Structure 1
Amino acid sequence: MSLHITNLTKKFGEQTALNDINVRIDKTEIIGLLGPNGAGKSTLMKSIVGALKIDAGAISFDGKDITQNEIDSKRKIGFLPENNPLYGEMYVREYLNFVAELHDLPKARIDEVIELVGITPEKSKKISQLSKGYKQRVGLAQAILHSPDLLILDEPTNGLDPNQIIEIRNVIKEIGREKTVILSTHIMQEVEALCSRVILIHQGSIIWDSPIDEFRGKFESLEDAFANYTH
């Protein structure tokens, strides 16, 4: 799996959301995508998955330009956006069956993923009846159902209780052994627990890209490093 982002720029009117972004990922790892609110994290993730049209620059996935090979690229990418759009009137298993049919997957894969993300007790409920935590799990299930090479997660543990956070982190860690994960979060403990590399975006530009220990540097905690770099 390789993801190369070259001179990526994205504007919304007069506002520059991403300014000449360059990122290179060539190996399996879990990457923490950090930045203050409005820094450009979600815009970057949506650009990678093809949900936003880029204004300048290029994104290549496995050596192919994603704008020229959009469908093939999306087959290999899983995405859980921050707002986790789900069909509330569908039942959990019905929804995952729908996603599986889109990817032409065997039914057995649905059961595997239901067990992996821990929604077996809820699989016969309507999505609208689920708690916030279980809705997040359903969103994660659809993102990993087709075994993507690249998994992009925007605030995946948002709204979860402490036990649910630990469980979802364990799922992400397991996935990260074989796949590349880009994880956006404001929770520094999550970065500490999961990530080997940190990419820090501030005001639309990447100001840091390094192994997590280098990012922490001389500071006592990741929170201190984050505050210093983005102050």
Structure 2
Amino acid sequence: MSIAVEGVSKLYGNQKALNNISFKVGKPEIVGFLGPNGAGKSTMMKILTTFIQASEGQVKVNNFDVNQNTMDVQKSVGYLPENNPLYLDMYVKEYLAFNAQIFNVSKARIQEVIELTGLSPESHKKIGQLSKGYRQRVGLANALLHDPDVLILDEPTTGLDPNQLVDIRNLIKTIGKTKTIFLSTHIMQEVEAMCDRVIIINKGNIIADKKLHELHDGKEQTVIVEFDYRVEDAFLKKLPKVKTVTNTHGFVYEITFSTSEDMRSHVFDFAHDNQLKILQLNQKNASLESLFRELTSN
């Protein structure tokens, strides 16, 4: 098991940042670690990377105890912190060579990570001359230098433009085919695009730990239907198990049902019985963002 967290709590004075949480992450797997500000995400990541110790519980990374085998954990983990500290006056290759000496890895590995992270076109420049997207690539290249089995990435896509987002997302997905990636982010669309699984934490407690597709298999569904004529919401609310009806525009309606049963046949029958034509009829998957809001609203 790449990451094993068992009964971990963390106290800051009288405040409990983490409350007896447990989870495991295998290899290869890309796991999104989500939660509102102050939920305990950064605290957990600092424990995993040996920056701080838990008050209670046990944490192992690559089968090394983070308290008893600190150096082994650090050698086997690649870490990209949120602020991505870099030496801006150093050239890309110079910076990676500097860190390669610390990790005691070969010079050949420097070129490997440059190519892997798509840094080749910018590798002759000073880091301070690079865009934020390329600086993130430098951070990822540095995290990969010693070929760790586990990558821990704290907000790896924050502040990137849409093109940079796509590039970094694809890079993380490629790396995640052979490694364990544990990442924190506030961008729900990126989680849906990259992750196999999500762990949601709120007020120090894990409130969801599921494969991404399982989060969408809930007890609700939304059907989008377009008729050829306007229909009063009150009539649509007579459909079985209707929760809400929204006329989004024109003759298009979003109908939310409190069931996982496919309700499109009921909408079709409603149209037939009321002599309406259906111009479109689709299911709408609940977004991770809406699920996140629902789970963390209390």
Report the TM range for the smaller structure's normalisation: over 0.9
TM-score by length of 1: 0.95
Q: Which residue number in structure 2 is paired with residue 228 of structure 1?
A: 294
1:53-132 paired onto structure 2 within 5 Å: 53-132=53-132
Which digits, 9 at most, give the CA deviation of each residue in 1:206-231, with x for residues without a partner?
A: 11111112223336111111110001
Q: Which residue number in structure 2 is paired with residue 37 of structure 1?
A: 37
- Give the drift of 1:126: 2.0
TM-score by length of 2: 0.74
Amino acid at match of 1:122: E
Asked if structure 2 preserves the Cα contact closer than 8 Å seen for 1:8 and 1:19, the reply is: yes
User: What secondary structure does 2:28 align onto?
Assistant: coil
- Give the drift of 1:129: 2.4
Which digits, 9 at most, give the CA deviation of each residue in 1:113-154, with x for residues without a partner?
A: 112212222222222222222211111111111111010111
Rg comparison, structure with higher value: 2
Give the Cα separation in 1 of the matches to 2:171 and 2:133: 14
Give the Cα separation in 2 of the matches to 1:80 and 1:63: 21
Q: Which residue number in structure 2 is paired with residue 177 of structure 1?
A: 177
1:190-201 paired onto structure 2 within 5 Å: 190-201=190-201
Give the Cα separation in 2 of the matches to 1:101 and 1:37: 36
Structure 1: give runs of 5+ residues left out of the alignment. Answer: none
User: What secondary structure does 2:23 align onto?
Assistant: strand
Which digits, 9 at most, give the CA deviation of each residue in 1:78-105, with x for residues without a partner?
A: 1101111112222211110011111111
Give the Cα separation in 2 of the matches to 1:124 and 1:64: 37
Structure 2: give runs of 5+ residues left out of the alignment. Answer: 221-285
Give the Cα separation in 2 of the matches to 1:2 and 1:95: 28
Match status 1:187 vs 2:177:
no
Asked if structure 2 preserves the Cα contact closer than 8 Å seen for 1:217 and 1:225, the reply is: no
- Give the drift of 1:11: 2.0
Asked if structure 1 preserves the Cα contact closer than 8 Å seen for 2:64 and 2:72, the reply is: no
Asked if structure 1 preserves the Cα contact closer than 8 Å seen for 2:2 and 2:150, the reply is: no
Asked if structure 1 preserves the Cα contact closer than 8 Å seen for 2:8 and 2:56, the reply is: yes
Give the Cα separation in 1 of the matches to 2:26 and 2:162: 33
Of stretches 154-163 and 18-27 in structure 1, the one that deviates more from structure 2 is 18-27
User: What secondary structure does 1:78 align onto?
Assistant: strand
Asked if structure 2 preserves the Cα contact closer than 8 Å seen for 1:117 and 1:137, the reply is: yes
- Give the drift of 1:37: 1.3
Aligned length: 231
Give the Cα separation in 2 of the matches to 1:119 and 1:159: 19
More helix as a share of residues: 1
Q: Could you tell me the percent identity over the aligned residues?
A: 55
Which digits, 9 at most, give the CA deviation of each residue in 1:167-195, with x for residues without a partner?
A: 11111111111111011111111111111
User: What secondary structure does 2:113 align onto?
Assistant: helix
Q: Which residue number in structure 1 is paired with residue 165 of structure 2?
A: 165
Q: 1:206 to 1:104 in 2, by over 3 A?
A: same
Cα RMSD between the aligned structures? 1.4
Asked if structure 2 preserves the Cα contact closer than 8 Å seen for 1:117 and 1:171, the reply is: yes
User: What secondary structure does 1:206 align onto?
Assistant: strand
User: What secondary structure does 1:75 align onto?
Assistant: helix
Moved over 3 A (4+): none
Give the Cα separation in 1 of the matches to 2:157 and 2:62: 29
Of structures 1 and 2, the one scoring higher in RCO (CA 8 A, sep 6+) is: 1
Amino acid at match of 2:92: V
